Structure 1
Amino acid sequence: MTKTVTRLFDNYSDATNAMRELEQLGVPHDNLSIVANGRDHDGALDRDNDGVNDDGDVTRGASTGAVLGGVGGLLAGLGLLAIPGLGPIVAAGWLASTAVGAGIGAASGAATGGIVGALKEAGHSDDDANVYSEGVRRGGTLVSAKVEDSMAAEAEAVLQRNKSVDAATRGAAYRQSGWSSFDASAPTYSEAEVADERNRYSSTPVG
């Protein structure tokens, strides 16, 4: 049996560290996925080269055909996608493929599908799926891995020690400010809003 373990990260660098550790743990590339906000994730997306205009819209999708099993690990195959409610994202792996509702190698420009549905299909609760999706909309990065039950505890430990966010705690914080669920029609956060969001939670315990 397999289990899907997913965590949200406020910082892209923490997420990529976790991805590398999961690869070292032996999780196959096909079972790993990363979805990062396209506005701000420490240099993974170059606006001038990857087709995102000043409004944050995808104008020229980057090829993602070599995402799975790419040389140098999954991160070597990061590609640009557009997911409803998240705008331009940088992503690799099965979760992004499910969210856009099409073969990941063919994705470019605006794509159909949704991140909440993809997370629920992977086995997450409706509540967690909404919190994770909202976290990406606000500038976070999502890492997800399909692992054998025997490896689940180790995989969860990897995600936790790399400063991941507890979904229940973050969801409660969102709700205190009036949030109820992920809204695919809501605008994605600007770079300034992403910075404010990170500052808000920088002193909050994670994991």
Structure 2
Amino acid sequence: MRTVTGLFDDYDDARDAVRELAEAGVPSDDISIVASNIGDRYSADSSDAAEGAATGAGLGAAGGGVVGLLTGLGLMAIPGVGPVVAAGWLAATAAGAAAGAVAGGAAGGLIGALTDSGVDEEDAHVYAEGVRRGGALVTARVDESLVPEAETILKQRNRVDPAARRSIYAEEGWTQFDENADPYSLDEVERERERYRSMRG
């Protein structure tokens, strides 16, 4: 098994990536999503939106797990990130690590869960910072035979290049995710999203 990960600036891209990973044969139990919920954007309507997306895609019985995953989004707070909606094994691992940690360890739990599953630590910090700035993170445990297809799915859904994003953050003096930093405000998140939208053209 290998871990494939994608950071997305747009929650809809992340949700579509989850759906397509499942269509490609990745079990829903092996897919996770953690998304910023600044402004309570997803907790109220995530159920209907996810169910509609899955039904519209004709997932049928095979999609039940994905609908369950996306409609089962739980609310949690990550120090330095703020409120998130999260589901799947990565969220459970991060929450478990946080529960056992002394001070503020949910972010350490997220980064630790990523690195323990094979994600490069520098990338893990970019991913946590990306969620802090309004993004959504999709992580899947994938059989070796499915890795190329899974990587293609994430790329086609506008996955963020972690090295390029790290460079952008570094230009602002950022070095790594800081769980003691203040979470982004809704206005800051919106400005961040608009910035990357304009870069994509």
The two structures have a TM-score, normalised by structure 2, of: 0.81
Residues matched between the structures, number = 178
Alpha-carbon distance, 1:83 to partner: 2.3
Corresponding position of 1:23:
22
SS in 1 for 2:35: strand
* Matches of 2:71 and 2:126, distance apart in 1: 27
1:121-176: per-residue Cα shift (whole Å, max 9, x none)?
A: 11111110000000000000000000001100100111110111111110111001
Question: Whose helix fraction is larger, Structure 1's or Structure 2's?
Answer: 2
SS at match of 1:204: helix
CA contact (8 A) 2:2 2:141 kept: yes
Cα distance, 1:176–1:23 mapped onto 2, change above 3 Å: same
* Structure 1 partner of 2:10: 11
Aligned to 1:87: 82
Q: Return the match for 1:116 from 111, 123, 128.
A: 111
Identity %: 52
> What's 2:44 paired with?
46
1:40/1:194 contact within 8 Å kept: no
What is the SS of the residue equivalent to 2:5?
A: strand
Q: Which runs of 5+ in 1 are unaligned?
A: 48-68, 105-109
Q: How far apart are 1:73 and its partner, in Å?
A: 3.7
Q: Which structure would you say has the larger RCO, counting Cα contacts within 8 Å and 6 or more residues apart?
A: 2
Per-residue deviation at 1:35? 0.1
Query: 1:150 corresponds to which residue?
Result: 145
Q: What stretches of structure 2 of length at least 5 have no aligned partner? A: 46-63
Amino acid at match of 1:158: I
Query: Within 2, Cα distance between the matches of 1:169 and 1:121?
Result: 23
2:60 alignment partner in structure 1: none
Q: For residues 24 and 70 of structure 1, do their structure 2 counterparts lie closer, same or farther at Cα, with a shift above 3 Å needed?
A: closer
* Contact 1:4–1:145, Cα closer than 8 Å, also in 2: yes
* Structure-2 separation of matches of 1:190 and 1:103: 23
Q: State the superposition RMSD in angstroms.
A: 2.4
Cα distance, 1:102 vs structure 2 = 5.8
Q: Secondary structure at the match of 1:123?
A: coil
User: What's the offset of the Cα at 1:199?
Assistant: 1.4
- CA 1:168–1:77 in structure 2 vs 1: closer, same or farther (change >3 Å)? same
Output one character per residue of 1:44-72: Cα deviation in whole Å (capped at 9) or x when no partner. 2239xxxxxxxxxxxxxxxxxxxxx7573
What letter is aligned with 2:198?
A: S
Q: Distance in 2 between matches of 1:84 and 1:121?
A: 20
For 2:130, the aligned partner's letter is G
Q: State the distance in 2 between where 1:123 and 1:95 align.
A: 12
SS at match of 1:164: coil
The answer on whether the counterparts of 2:128 and 2:177 sit within 8 Å (CA) in structure 1 is yes
SS at match of 1:82: strand
4+ residue segments displaced more than 4 Å: 110-113
Give me the TM-score of the superposition, normalised by structure 1.
Answer: 0.79
Mapped contact 2:32–2:140 kept (Cα < 8 A) = yes
Rounded Cα–Cα distance in structure 1 between residues aligned with 2:71 and 2:150: 21
